[in-house]
Amino acid sequence: MACLKSVIFDMDGVLVNTEPVHLKMYQRLLADYGKEMEYAVYAPCIGSTTRLLQKLLMDAYGVDIFTPENQRRIARYEREILDRDGYGEIPGMASFIKNLKESGLRLAVASSSPYSMIVRTVRDIGLEPYFDRLVSGEDVPQPKPAPDVFQKAMEELGVRPEECVIVEDSANGVRAAKAAGAACIGFSNPDSGSQDLGLADILVEGFEELDRRFVEKVHCRACGLPVTVYEGERFRLREIRMEDLPQLKELCAQRQGEAGWGSFLAAEDESAFLESYIRHMYPFYDFGMYVLEREGRILGLAGLDVEPGMSGERETPGGQRRAARQGLPEGQGFQESQETSGGQEAQVTLGYLIAPGERGKGYAGEACAAILQYAGERLGLQDILIRVREDNLPSLRTARKLAERFAGLARLEVEPAASSLAK
């Protein structure tokens, strides 16, 4: 199982907002020749090398940017623009890089810019100490969208593609990242022009709230690995994987005949249901049910489910229909009012199922508290409803503690003992 070891950054448009600077300096150069450079001519080189730009400008205007005189002019124009306007800051980028480095990841810059420009830029913005390697696209055979510059960065970092996440803002860069076999975060930078980032594993509009944990999740999703949402001394809480099916069947079989989490695998084809659940639930909602795992053994299930309305039926991501749960028996628990994509009010239910031999050890409370913290801090969920029957005393005690601890995020609704479980 590959683990995340490194993050590789493009420079222009990612570390610094230099694309407007580059556009202005080449516009000034072309103006020296009495020509007005059109953005449509310049755009294809975004994310690629100056060799491509040379060809584009030669073809369109007959101007060679690599003559000694033009190189001196470009360097002077760039310095004048930077002295006047400074580097375009990417909000949150500095703290994001520091967080990744402090977490133990190896970092690199893999840019199409010349090596001297990469060194000067990361030094000027104060980030040079955080990078283990700086790699220029001008030192490899093929520019982006070919994967060469990222492959060279991986080689110098001593990591494999499946151990990397690459951050890019251009169509050429994203294509290069995927061709290199790595996961990719696409940064939608408006100053980078209209870029098709559709191949990226995820798109972001900023870096203020990103950290190691976010990058880990992107890496896991891209590699088909279960995301861990909590790791304590007694167990870890992670997404379900297909290898869990035998233990899940045994766990759920102990609650057969009961509505709720015990009937999670009550489908005609359990394997097909679980495979579809994993493939659709986690990527779509960014949450779901998690296993409590210790040394390969599953102690129980806990997590969040979503249902339109307070009762009735819903279509699960796997196409299976299950009755909405109105209450849960002892050893099982709990049912956020969110808005569905169609505008219909939805319920996110908090629930758990602990194996009979593991009850009374506080696993349910610890797991549900970790899930509520994760839901509030990482997912931005609100008003999570915990519903439990008044005669379900163990779950009621746990639910009251959670509602008190997470007041403002979770609220408790106690149903009469005579309430039916599911109709």
Out of 50, 68, 85, a domain closes at 85
Between CA 374 and CA 380 the distance in angstroms is 9
Q: What are the tens digits of pLDDT across the range 197-253? A: 999 999 999 999 999 999 999 999 999 899 999 999 999 999 999 999 999 999 988
The secondary structure of 92-119 as a DSSP string is THHHHHHHHHHTT-EEEEEESS-HHHHH
Question: Is residue 200 one of the residues assigned to a domain?
Answer: yes
Helix spans in 254-346 (H): 270-285
Q: What are the tens digits of pLDDT across the range 330-376? A: 344 444 444 444 444 678 889 899 999 999 999 999 999 999 999 99
Enter the pTM of the model: 0.75
Instruction: State which residues form the domain around 255.
Output: 228-415
Give pLDDT, residue 194. Answer: 79
Q: Quick check: 352 and 261 in contact, CB under 8 A?
A: yes
Give the total number of structural domains in the chain: 3
Same domain (yes/no): 187, 261: no
Same domain (yes/no): 247, 351: yes
20 pLDDT band (50/70/90 cuts)? Answer: confident
Question: Is residue 421 one of the residues assigned to a domain?
Answer: no
DSSP reduced 3-state for 16: strand
Same domain (yes/no): 345, 405: yes
Give pLDDT, residue 389. Answer: 85
Give pLDDT, residue 407. Answer: 94
Same domain (yes/no): 174, 51: no
Between CA 267 and CA 322 the distance in angstroms is 9
- Residue 92 makes CB contacts below 8 A (sequence gap 6+) with 206, 207, 208, 209, 210
Question: Is residue 1 one of the residues assigned to a domain?
Answer: no
Residue 178 token pair: 């995927």
254 phi, psi to nearest 5 deg: -75, -10
Between CA 187 and CA 218 the distance in angstroms is 13
Question: Is residue 67 one of the residues assigned to a domain?
Answer: yes
| Separation in Å, CA 328 to CA 134, 224, 315, 420 | 56, 32, 20, 10
Query: Within 10 A of 158 (CB to CB), how many other CB atoms are there?
Result: 12
